[in-house]
Amino acid sequence: MNACERKYKRIGDSMQISFQAFGTYNQIMAEVDCLPLLEECRSLCEAIEAKFSAFQPTSAIAEISAQAGIRPVAIDEETFFMLKRAQDFSNLSKGAFDITIRPATALWGIGKKGDYVPDSQDLEQLNELVDYKGLVLDQKNGTAMLQKAGQQIDLGGIAKGYAADKARDHLVQKGCSSALINFGGNIATIGEKQNGESWQVGVQNPLAKRGEFIGTVSLTDQTMVTSGVNERFFIRDGKRYHHILDPRTCRPADSSLLSVTVVGNRSIDMDALSTALFVLGPDEGSKLAIQTGCHALFILTNREIFATEGFTKMPKRKV
């Protein structure tokens, strides 16, 4: 399926649209009456992808990176909102989520450069560039600037969550009262299923094929986001290299976790948090989950499952 292709499927009383964006598959399922709205949501998604991609040379994000260490760049309100949210979560997580991770994600190129592992020296040189404190947002003048030449923005850790929120808001605004949005594992729900039951959403077993779940979570108007080692990775010399990087080392985060799933209200927030909690690991991560009022479920590399309150209904205790 290329970016323009889309598919419709009827599921019971609902319609589902599938399309590709953000390098992944996305689906929205809603009442049949909402069909025209599904197309609008797809367009919304494609616009967000184009606007916030680090790869679009004409995007404001690319411009901020190009002007790093040189000058502030004028940005619109939506870009300001995204950068501010990413900056807030960088601060909250003390840099476990780092909006300036891009030089490291670009060097690794996980999912793009085969089993390439960068030299330690090259990675060490990135340490001073990967520093969220270098992003200066000026609300009064509507500008953003990266302080050090070579710094670059990466919104890959929150863009899908933001898109899920936008799709949900759009559907609600147009009167849709029941929908399930799944943007590459970022789940957002509206209301309940049409039969009045809450949405049942599976938590992926990170050691099994896609679609094999360790249990399900009931969601009504909530959002659930997972970050895990199974999304984008390669294995070299028996070692797994995945796409969530620890900004302190600029290497794949090694926090004794296979995945983290978070449940809360806004998908952009849960997307940032799932990435942050993955880097922090279960101890520090659960503290941040409680502090931010979300529920988190950690699947550890020793296959144990550890959850904060709210996830206690998970049936299996080991994957």
In the complex, which residues of this chain contact ligand ADP (CB under 6 A)? 97-98, 101, 105, 154, 156-157, 160, 184-185, 227, 231, 243-245, 247, 271, 274-275, 279
Minimum separation from the CB atom of position 183 to ligand ADP (A): 9
C-alpha to C-alpha distance for 73 and 213, rounded to whole angstroms:
44
Q: How far is the CB of 66 from ligand ADP (least distance, A)?
A: 18
- Do 105 and 151 touch, CB atoms closer than 8 A? no
Residue 67, judged by CB atoms within 10 A of its CB (0-12, 13-18, 19+), counts as middle
* Minimum gap (Å) between residue 93 Cβ and ligand ADP: 8
Q: Which does 185 bind (CB under 5 to 8 A by kind): ligand ADP, Mg ion, none?
A: ligand ADP
Q: What is the C-alpha to C-alpha distance for residues 43 and 251, in angstroms, rounded to an integer?
A: 35
CA dihedral 188, 190, 196, 197 (to 10 degrees): 10
Query: How many residues does this entry show for the chain?
Result: 319
| Partner from Mg ion, ligand ADP, none binding residue 184, C-beta < 5-8 Å depending on class | ligand ADP
Instruction: Return the number of the residue (14 or 79) whose C-beta is nearest ligand ADP.
Output: 79
274 touches 171 (CB < 8 A): no
Neighbours of 181 (CB within 10 A): 25
242 binds, among ligand ADP, Mg ion, none (CB under 5 to 8 A by kind): none
Q: Taking CB within 5 to 8 Å according to partner kind, which of Mg ion, ligand ADP, none is near residue 243?
A: ligand ADP
Closer CB to ligand ADP, 153 or 305, in the complex: 153
Residue 247 binds which of ligand ADP, Mg ion, none (CB < 5-8 A, kind-dependent): ligand ADP
